[in-house]
């Protein structure tokens, strides 16, 4: 026993010496000096661990983002629907089970997955190499839901075509780059009241969680009802026309499997296990890969067989077929386009700027003047990455708060972000596995994302009616009107209205004081006149 322990200790000692030697060699090299390893009190192995930790905590976005964007339908249309012999498909084929349209959606999902991976890979690499910051970048949660459910709509039922939505993202990205290059981005962010920023984050979290609770993109716990609009579902059978429950509430096997995944994520986050979101998604997904079960993602049907045949490839490089470079400025004269543009710019300014500052502060990179090294370049990288993402057909890029996992591991330089980029690059070759993640696994993760985004509500002063009413309207309107823009407009409207009341009251008090002083002066003059008489 003692010999075995000594051997293990010798191995650890040798490994420790090798690690120290590697760290010292890299720190003295051109790479080490460029990334300022010694200046930031870090080393290569620590940065490597930090990059892996960050990737594990944010890798869920690969499948989550692809699933959300696929709900928009992408470039799929009625022309892709299967039609009966000697007949043509109607517009409703995009909203009912249809083999042809579902086949198009499957390919589109793979396109979105590759676009998500490539944009995250390029953005993270640029953040690491150009700005030398330990931050991972990927398509943001919020703008993806805004595209899928507000702009393009479920399977193209919204007011703006998918091509035009990408053009909106592109224009917004260039506006973002412009204000960043001029150095006024941080000033714009500081003009936004904190309560609005907090309420937006929480409202988007509620919106995302609401999406994850529905059947088409998640657990299926919430379903439509003709009397109450929404109701408890998780049904064993639903009406294919309306989606309403026709039997067996709370009896859906996929709901209960997804719920187990949610509990796994919760336990992992409670214990601060890195990659907790991934563990829950992987568990639900692997169970769903077995055929012949009530929860299988590969039923014995034409669509199920097609999914299974692609899944069996395991390793495959999917080339983007339909979503890259399809930007179109047609229809830019519509009011919906400009509302969307302002909304996205607003979300980008408050979300990304706030996240960058917070993460830099956690990493100890903020100086006495309230700025941090690489700040200017980081803003430009963020905007330029969104341009890349848009041309690849996916939603805008953002700095991920999950980067705190790597920072806690000691990541302080851009090497951490470069490792995140490398991990995303490796995932490009496993699209058959990644595209086979079922909605009930994604739904559980969306609800958990909503849970984590709700933490900011504690920053709202709920004792102040002006703040609490504005924040509440912002948060509640987003899920209930199925619109992020409506929540923002409603919250700001209430805040302005209540602020006007305060201003009017202040003006009235000032006016009354002036009038009171005038009366006092007149009385004093009258008294003086009487005394002189």
Q: How far apart are CA 107 and CA 104, in angstroms?
A: 5
Most confident range, picked from 76-80, 280-284, 412-416: 412-416
Residue of higher predicted confidence among 484 and 179: 179
Q: What is the pLDDT of residues 428-443, one digit of tens each?
A: 998 888 888 888 988 8
Give the pLDDT mean for 254-263: 94
Given a cut of 70, whether residue 517 has pLDDT beyond it is no
Q: What is the pLDDT of residues 383-428, one digit of tens each?
A: 999 999 999 999 999 888 788 778 878 899 999 999 999 999 999 9
Please report how the helices 375-391 and 162-181 are oriented relative to each other, as an axis angle in degrees rounded to 10: 160
User: DSSP character for 291?
Assistant: T
Given a cut of 70, whether residue 301 has pLDDT beyond it is yes
Q: How far apart are CA 523 and CA 77, in angstroms?
A: 82
Q: What is the pLDDT of residue 264?
A: 93
Q: What is the pLDDT of residues 188-244, one digit of tens each?
A: 666 666 777 778 778 878 888 888 898 766 788 998 887 888 888 888 888 766 778
Q: What is the pLDDT of residue 516?
A: 65
Residue of higher predicted confidence among 325 and 241: 325
- Percent of the chain at pLDDT > 90 equals 34
Going by C-alpha positions, the residue among 339, 368, 372, 320 that lies closest to residue 110 is 320
Scanning the structure block, which residue is given the tokens 């302002």?
342
For the chain, the distance separating the N- and C-terminal CA atoms, rounded to the nearest angstrom, is: 118
**Measured CA angle at 492 (ends 489, 494), to 5 deg:** 105
Q: How far apart are CA 183 and CA 137, in angstroms?
A: 21
Tokens of 525: 């003059």
Residue of higher predicted confidence among 453 and 263: 263
Q: What is the pLDDT of residue 295?
A: 92
Please check whether residue 166 is in contact with residue 386, taking contact to mean a CB–CB distance below 8 angstroms.
Answer: no
Q: How far apart are CA 395 and CA 143, in angstroms?
A: 6
Scanning the structure block, which residue is given the tokens 């937006």?
200
Going by C-alpha positions, the residue among 424, 421, 328, 388 that lies closest to residue 113 is 424
Scored b (16 or more CB within 10 A) or e, 344-366 reads bbbbbbbbbbbbbbebbeebebb
Q: How far apart are CA 163 and CA 372, in angstroms?
A: 37
Given a cut of 50, whether residue 464 has pLDDT beyond it is yes
Please check whether residue 402 is in contact with residue 362, taking contact to mean a CB–CB distance below 8 angstroms.
Answer: no
Given a cut of 70, whether residue 10 has pLDDT beyond it is no
pTM of the model: 0.76
Q: What is the pLDDT of residue 228?
A: 84
**Measured CA angle at 314 (ends 310, 316), to 5 deg:** 80
Q: How confident is the model at residue 53 (pLDDT cuts 50, 70, 90)?
A: confident
Q: How far apart are CA 351 and CA 293, in angstroms?
A: 42
**Measured CA angle at 58 (ends 233, 129), to 5 deg:** 155
Indicate the Cα dihedral angle 306, 222, 400, 403, nearest 10°. Answer: -90
* Three-state DSSP state, 430: strand
Contacts 24+ apart (CB under 8 A), 301-310: 302/99, 303/99, 303/102, 303/103, 303/106, 306/103, 306/106, 307/106, 307/436, 310/106, 310/432, 310/435, 310/436
Taking all residues of the chain, what is their mean pLDDT, rounded to a whole number? 85
Q: What is the pLDDT of residue 241?
A: 66
**DSSP H or E stretch at residue 372:** none
Given a cut of 60, whether residue 271 has pLDDT beyond it is yes
Given a cut of 50, whether residue 347 has pLDDT beyond it is yes
Q: What is the pLDDT of residue 333?
A: 84
Going by C-alpha positions, the residue among 489, 487, 488, 485 that lies closest to residue 158 is 485
Q: How far apart are CA 135 and CA 401, in angstroms?
A: 8
Q: How far apart are CA 21 and CA 78, in angstroms?
A: 62
Ranges of beta strands (E only) in 396-470 are: 397-399
Given a cut of 60, whether residue 294 has pLDDT beyond it is yes
Q: What is the pLDDT of residues 104-139, one digit of tens each?
A: 999 999 999 999 999 999 999 999 999 999 999 999
- Its sign, for the CA torsion 281, 286, 292, 297, is positive
Give the pLDDT mean for 266-280: 84
The upper half-sphere exposure of residue 500, i.e. CA atoms within 13 Å in the direction of its Cβ, equals 6
Please check whether residue 31 is in contact with residue 132, taking contact to mean a CB–CB distance below 8 angstroms.
Answer: no
Q: What is the pLDDT of residue 64?
A: 85
DSSP 209-253: HHHHHBTTTS---EEEETTTEEEE---SEE-TTT--EEE-TT--H
């Amino acid at each position: 026993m003692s010999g075995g322990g000594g051997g293990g200790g010798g191995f650890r000692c040798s490994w420790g010496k090798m690690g120290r030697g590697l760290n010292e060699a890299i720190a003295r090299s051109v790479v080490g000096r460029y990334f300022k390893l010694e200046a930031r009190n870090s080393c290569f192995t620590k940065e490597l661990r930090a990059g892996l930790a960050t990737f594990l905590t944010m890798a869920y976005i690969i499948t989550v983002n692809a699933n959300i964007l696929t709900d928009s339908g992408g470039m799929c249309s009625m022309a892709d629907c299967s039609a009966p012999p000697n007949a043509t498909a109607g517009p409703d084929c995009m909203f009912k089970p249809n083999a042809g349209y579902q086949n198009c959606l499957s390919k589109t999902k793979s396109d979105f997955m590759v676009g998500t991976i490539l944009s995250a890979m390029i953005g993270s690499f640029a953040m690491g190499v150009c700005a030398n910051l330990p931050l991972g970048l990927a398509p943001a949660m919020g703008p993806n839901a805004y595209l899928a459910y507000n702009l393009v709509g479920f399977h193209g039922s919204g007011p703006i075509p998918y091509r035009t939505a990408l053009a909106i993202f592109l224009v917004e990205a260039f506006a973002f780059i412009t204000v960043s290059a001029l150095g006024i981005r941080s000033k714009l962010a500081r003009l936004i009241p904190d309560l609005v920023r907090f309420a937006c984050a929480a409202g988007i979290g509620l919106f995302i969680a609401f999406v994850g609770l529905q059947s088409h993109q998640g657990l299926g716990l919430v379903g439509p009802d003709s009397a109450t609009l929404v109701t408890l579902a998780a049904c064993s059978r639903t009406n294919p026309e309306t989606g309403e429950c026709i039997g067996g509430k709370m009896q859906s096997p996929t709901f209960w499997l997804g719920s187990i995944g949610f509990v796994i994520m919760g336990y992992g986050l409670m214990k601060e296990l890195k990659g907790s979101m991934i563990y829950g998604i992987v568990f639900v997904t692997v169970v769903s890969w077995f055929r012949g079960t009530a929860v299988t993602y590969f039923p014995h049907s034409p669509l199920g067989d097609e999914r299974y045949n692609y899944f069996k490839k395991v390793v495959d490089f999917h080339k983007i077929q339909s979503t890259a470079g399809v930007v179109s400025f047609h229809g830019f004269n519509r009011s919906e386009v400009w509302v969307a543009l302002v909304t996205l710019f607003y979300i980008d300014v408050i979300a990304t700027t706030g996240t960058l500052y917070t993460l830099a502060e956690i990493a100890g990179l903020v100086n006495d003047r309230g700025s941090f090294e690489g700040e200017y370049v980081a803003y430009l990288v963020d905007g330029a990455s969104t341009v890349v993402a848009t041309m690849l057909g996916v939603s805008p890029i953002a700095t991920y708060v999950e980067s705190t996992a790597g920072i806690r591991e000691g990541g302080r330089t851009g090497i951490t972000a470069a490792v995140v980029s490398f991990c995303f690059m490796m995932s490009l070759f496993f699209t058959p596995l990644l595209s086979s993640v079922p909605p009930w696994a994604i739904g559980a993760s969306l609800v958990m994302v909503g849970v984590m985004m709700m933490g900011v509500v504690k920053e709202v002063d709920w004792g102040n009616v002006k703040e609490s009413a504005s924040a509440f309207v912002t948060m509640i309107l987003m899920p209930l009107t199925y619109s992020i823009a409506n929540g923002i407009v409603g919250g700001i409207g209430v805040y302005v209205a209540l602020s006007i009341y305060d201003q009017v009251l202040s003006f009235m008090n000032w006016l009354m004081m002036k009038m009171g002083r005038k009366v006092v002066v007149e009385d004093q003059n009258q008294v003086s006149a009487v005394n002189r008489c």
